[in-house]
Amino acid sequence: MRSLLLAGGKSSRMGKDKALIEIDGECCISRILNALYSSNRNPVRVAVSSTECIKEYSKVINPEIDIEWVVDSNQYAGPIESITENLEDSNFVKEGFIQLSTVDVPWVTPDFFDCLKNSIKMEDDLIIPTDGQNIHPLLSLIRPGPVLNKLSKGSKRPLSIQFCEINYSLYHGDLKILKNINYLQDIE
């Protein structure tokens, strides 16, 4: 099963590139890629904002991971634009499922990705993780064709709202695993 890792954000609230922030001695992008790799979500397409990011990120990741780098055509347009742009690729549309991920969830585990896969129902086009308080659409497991057909590219409506308008189910995950980082205090 393929995956799409979104790594093209500005990290403006953080003040520095989230992908390169170290948690327990390992950069966030490396932690996420290792979790995807260990749960057989290969190859991993990593969507970045520039070719400079590819150079920097390549220095800190496991070279054994099959990575396909892509540069977002509309820099910093946001996750919906990046997701739809990548799902339009014929390599993704033919896949049964695509695992979404983002670099700002450094505590996600391979077991989490396996649980998503084992929890999706036949009638669902996606499964959205929740911690009981919030949903986490950027960690969803999706069927690319149906999701692409229903996402509104260029829409100002949040991804969480758009995903909830598609046939979905929820996966209740651990709050500690699903915690994302937006500010330096989130790392503590």
List, for residues 80-130, the tens digit of each pLDDT value: 999 999 999 877 777 789 999 999 999 999 999 999 999 999 999 999 999
Q: What is the mean pLDDT of residues 64-70?
A: 94
pLDDT over 70 percentage in the chain = 95
Phi and psi at residue 11, to the nearest 5°: 55, 35
Q: Please give the domain boundaries of the chain with CATH numbers for all domains.
A: 2-187 (3.90.550.10)
Share the mean pLDDT of the chain: 90
Looking at residue 12, what is its pLDDT? 64
Radius of gyration of the chain from Cα atoms? Answer: 15
Looking at residue 175, what is its pLDDT? 86
